[in-house]
Amino acid sequence: GIYQKWATLVKSIKEKNGVPLTRKLAHFTKAQEAAHKDIERAFGVLQARFAIVRGPARFWEKKTLENIMKCCVILH
């Protein structure tokens, strides 16, 4: 509920009206939640180590942000 509804963000699929998910949807949900956890952990590590990642980035150009993140990942 903390993320905006963007086309690039896919919410986890949960049970609908108490009806269990199919095996395929349950597998997708589990894989998606695992990937989400990994990404959150990676950003947490980068934010703890590099102050530039913690700061606001709304007004930066996309290419600049890309270069900063690549640099932080390489340095880490």
Residues forming a β-bridge with 19: 16
Counting beta carbons within 10 angstroms of the beta carbon of residue 63, is it exposed (0 to 12), middle (13 to 18) or buried (19 or more)? exposed
Whether the full predicted model's pTM is greater than 0.85, yes or no, is no
pLDDT tens per residue across span 51-63:
888 888 778 899 9
Average pLDDT on 34-63 reads 88
Helices (H), the chain: 23-49, 51-54, 62-75
